[in-house]
C-alpha cells in the first residue's frame, strides 16, 4: 500500500506540476488540500484540475471564519503591525492553513506534507514551524529546496513537465506579479517592484481597489461598533467578522485605503519589496485603535503597544503555535474587556478621518480635559507634581554644576 502525502494545493502551475512529480519521485498517493481563507474565485475549477493532474483526492476546506475569529481578531486587538507598515496578511494565514493540512493528514493516515514555498521566502518557515509544533512525527517535503531531484527552474520547464505527463491545461505564460490573496489582503511582488528605484505600476497591479487619486471626490461616512474588542456592526447592521471584513474591503477599496509599498526584512535574512492591498484590514485596525485610545489607561496602552510590536514579529516569523504567542495574546485579551463602543469615521482618498467616538467605558472626562476649571482638578496641584516628576533632572543638573565648579 502506497504512503500518502498531503499536498498544499492552490491549482497554480507549481502545485499542479508537483502532483505527477511526487508520484514519480516518491511513489506517493497524492491527496491535494486547498485551504480557502477567503481568496474568492481563485478556487473555481480546482477539483477537475487536481484529478486531471493525477491526484487521488482533493479537499477544499473553507476556514475563512476560523481565520477571522481565531487569528485576525487577536492580531487586530494586539495592534500587530510588522515594521510599522505590514498588516501581516500572508503571515496570519499560514498557521491556520498548516493546522488544517495536519488535520487532513491525520484523517487520511498520511505520513508526509508537501508545500510549494520557495527556499528564499518566509512561508517555508511558517508552514514548517506550524507542522513541527502540531505533528512532529510527520515528514515535510519542500521541493524547491531539493535541487538534486527538483530540476525545473522556470514556468516553461513546469509546463513541459506537465505535458509529458498528459497534463495539458491552459496555464498563463505571461510573467505577472507573484501574488498571495486571502480575505484580509492581497500581496504583489516581482516585475518592476524588484528594483526599489521603480515606482509601482498601480494601474496594472491593483486588484482590491483604486489609488487615492482615482477614488471618489466625495467622502463616505462609516459607523462601526465593537464589543469587548470584537467588531459587531457596520452602519447599524450586525454581521460576523468575516462579513465585516468583506464589507470594509469594498468600502476601503473604493476610497483608495490601505495600499502599502514596503521593503521588509525577511526572516531568512534578506530584504524584499512588496505592495500590499489591505483596505478592510486598514480600516478595522484604525477603528479599533480609535476606540481603544478612549478607554485604555496610559500604562496599559504603552505596555500593549510594546507587546503588540512583539506579537507582530512572532506572527511574521511563523511562531503562532508557541507559549510566547499564547502569553502575549492572553495579556491583550485581558485589555479588551471594556473596549466596547461606537466609532465613526470618513473615508476620503486614502484617508480614514475620525468623526466621533463614544463608549460607556470612556476614560475621557470633559471636566478634567476642558480649559475651564472643574471640580476634579486644581491647577495648583500641578506645582507639586512637577517638582517630584522633575526631581531626578534637577538633582542631576545640580551635581553637574557642582562637578563643573570643582574643576575650575
Main-chain dihedrals φ then ψ at residue 221, nearest 5 degrees: -85, 140
The conformation of residue 79, written as its DSSP 8-state character, comes to: T
* pLDDT tens for each residue of 369-381: 776 656 677 888 8
Question: 335 with 304: CB under 8 angstroms?
Answer: yes
In this prediction, residue 44 carries a pLDDT of 78
Q: Is the pLDDT reported for residue 59 higher than 80?
A: yes
Determine which one of 10, 100, 123, 187 is catalytic: 123
Q: Average pLDDT, stretch 97-126?
A: 97
For this structure, is 178 an active site residue? yes
Band of pLDDT at residue 171, cut at 50, 70 and 90: confident
Residues with Cβ within 8 Å of residue 137, at least 6 apart in sequence: none
Does residue 240 register a pLDDT over 90?
yes
Cβ atoms 273, 287 nearer than 8 A: no
Handedness of CA 314, 177, 8, 186 (dihedral sign): positive
Strand order through the sheet with 29-36: 57-62, 29-36, 4-8, 112-114, 139-141
Whether the per-residue pLDDT at 275 is higher than 80: the answer is: yes
Alpha helices (H) in 28-71, listed in sequence order: 46-52, 64-67
* Long-range contacts of the stretch 201-205 (C-beta < 8 A, 24+): 202/259, 205/177, 205/275
* Distance separating alpha carbons of residues 344 and 221, to the nearest angstrom: 7
Rounded Cα–Cα distance for residues 132 and 78 (Å):
25
DSSP string, 286-335: HHHHHHHHHHS-HHHHHHHHHHHHHHHHHHHTT--SSHHHHHHHHHHHHH
Higher-pLDDT residue of 168 and 318 is 318
Note the pLDDT of residue 333: 98
Q: Alpha helices, DSSP H only, in 68-141? A: 73-78, 89-108, 123-134
Reference 344, options 361, 358, 362, 364; nearest CA is 358
Q: Which three cell numbers stand for residue 69?
A: 475569529
CA nearest to 288, candidates 77, 72, 51, 50 = 77
For residue range 24-56, list pLDDT tens digits in order.
Answer: 999 999 999 999 999 877 677 888 999 999 999
Q: Pairing between strand 4-8 and 112-114?
A: parallel
Q: In this model, does residue 175 exceed pLDDT 70?
A: no
Separation in Å, CA 184 to CA 125, 156, 217, 284: 21, 32, 26, 10
Mean pLDDT of 68-93: 98
Residue from 94, 126, 273, 325 carrying the catalytic annotation: 94
Q: What backbone phi and psi angles, to 5 degrees, belong to 277? A: -105, 115
Percent of the chain with pLDDT over 90: 88
* Predicted pLDDT of residue 369: 73
Residues carrying CATH 3.90.1260.10, the chain: 178-296+339-358
Cβ neighbours of residue 322 under 8 Å, at least 6 residues apart?
133, 314
- For 11, residues 6+ apart whose C-beta sits below 8 A from its C-beta are 34, 42, 43, 45, 46, 49, 50
Give me the CATH code for the 178-296+339-358 domain, please: 3.90.1260.10
| Per annotation, catalytic residue among 14, 47, 69, 261 | 14
Give yes or no: 381 in active site: no
Which position has the grid cell 492581497?
186
Quick one: average pLDDT of 321-328? Answer: 98
Percent of the chain scoring above 70 in pLDDT: 98
Question: What mean pLDDT comes out for the span 154-163?
Answer: 90
Residue among 71, 77, 136, 58 nearest 97 (CA): 71
- DSSP H helices, 146-210, are 155-164, 202-205
Model pLDDT, residue 373: 59
Predicted pLDDT at 172: 67
Pick the CATH number of 4-64+89-164 from 2.60.120.10, 3.40.50.620, 1.25.40.10, 3.40.190.10: 3.40.50.620
The catalytic residue among 47, 65, 70, 178 is: 178
Give the pLDDT score at 371: 67
Q: Residue 17's pLDDT is what?
A: 95
Stretch(es) of the chain classified as CATH 3.40.50.620? 4-64+89-164
Residues in the chain: 408
Amino acid at each position: 500500500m502506497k504512503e500518502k502525502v498531503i499536498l498544499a494545493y492552490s491549482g497554480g502551475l507549481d502545485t499542479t506540476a508537483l502532483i505527477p512529480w511526487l508520484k514519480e519521485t516518491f511513489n506517493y498517493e497524492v491527496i491535494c488540500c486547498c485551504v480557502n481563507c477567503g481568496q474568492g474565485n481563485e478556487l473555481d475549477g480546482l477539483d477537475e484540475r487536481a484529478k486531471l493532474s493525477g491526484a487521488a483526492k482533493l479537499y477544499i476546506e473553507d476556514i475563512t471564519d476560523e481565520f477571522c475569529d481565531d487569528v485576525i481578531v487577536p492580531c487586530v486587538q494586539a495592534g500587530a503591525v510588522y515594521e510599522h507598515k505590514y498588516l501581516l496578511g500572508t503571515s496570519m494565514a499560514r498557521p491556520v492553513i498548516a493546522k488544517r493540512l495536519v488535520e487532513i493528514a491525520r484523517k487520511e493516515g498520511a505520513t508526509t506534507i508537501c508545500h510549494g514555498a520557495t527556499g528564499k521566502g518566509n512561508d517555508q518557515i511558517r508552514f514548517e514551524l506550524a507542522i513541527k509544533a502540531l505533528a512532529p512525527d510527520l515528514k515535510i517535503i519542500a521541493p524547491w529546496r531539493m535541487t538534486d531531484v527538483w530540476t525545473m527552474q522556470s514556468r516553461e520547464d513546469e509546463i513541459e513537465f506537465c505535458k509529458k505527463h498528459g497534463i495539458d491545461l491552459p496555464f498563463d505564460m505571461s510573467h505577472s506579479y507573484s501574488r498571495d490573496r486571502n480575505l484580509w489582503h492581497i500581496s504583489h511582488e516581482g516585475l518592476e517592484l524588484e528594483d526599489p528605484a521603480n515606482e509601482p505600476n498601480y494601474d496594472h497591479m491593483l486588484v482590491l481597489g483604486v489609488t487615492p487619486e482615482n477614488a471618489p471626490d466625495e467622502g463616505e461616512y462609516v459607523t462601526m461598533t465593537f464589543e469587548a474588542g470584537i467588531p459587531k456592526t457596520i452602519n447599524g447592521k450586525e454581521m460576523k467578522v468575516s462579513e465585516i471584513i468583506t464589507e470594509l474591503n469594498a468600502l476601503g477599496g473604493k476610497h483608495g485605503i490601505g495600499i502599502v509599498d514596503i521593503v521588509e526584512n525577511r526572516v531568512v535574512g534578506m530584504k524584499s519589496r512588496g505592495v500590499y492591498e489591505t483596505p478592510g484590514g486598514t480600516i478595522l485596525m484604525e477603528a479599533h485603535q480609535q476606540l481603544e485610545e478612549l478607554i485604555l489607561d496610559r500604562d496599559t496602552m504603552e505596555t500593549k503597544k510594546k507587546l503588540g510590536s512583539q506579537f507582530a514579529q512572532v506572527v511574521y516569523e511563523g511562531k503562532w503555535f508557541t507559549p510566547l504567542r499564547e502569553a502575549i495574546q492572553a495579556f491583550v485579551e485581558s485589555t479588551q474587556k471594556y473596549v466596547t463602543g461606537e466609532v465613526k469615521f470618513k473615508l476620503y482618498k486614502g484617508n480614514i478621518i475620525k468623526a466621533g467616538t463614544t463608549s460607556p467605558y470612556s476614560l475621557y472626562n470633559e471636566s478634567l480635559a476642558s480649559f475651564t476649571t472643574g471640580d476634579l482638578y486644581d491647577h495648583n496641584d500641578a506645582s507639586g507634581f512637577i517638582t517630584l516628576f522633575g526631581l531626578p533632572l534637577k538633582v542631576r543638573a545640580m551635581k553637574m554644576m557642582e562637578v563643573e565648579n570643582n574643576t575650575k
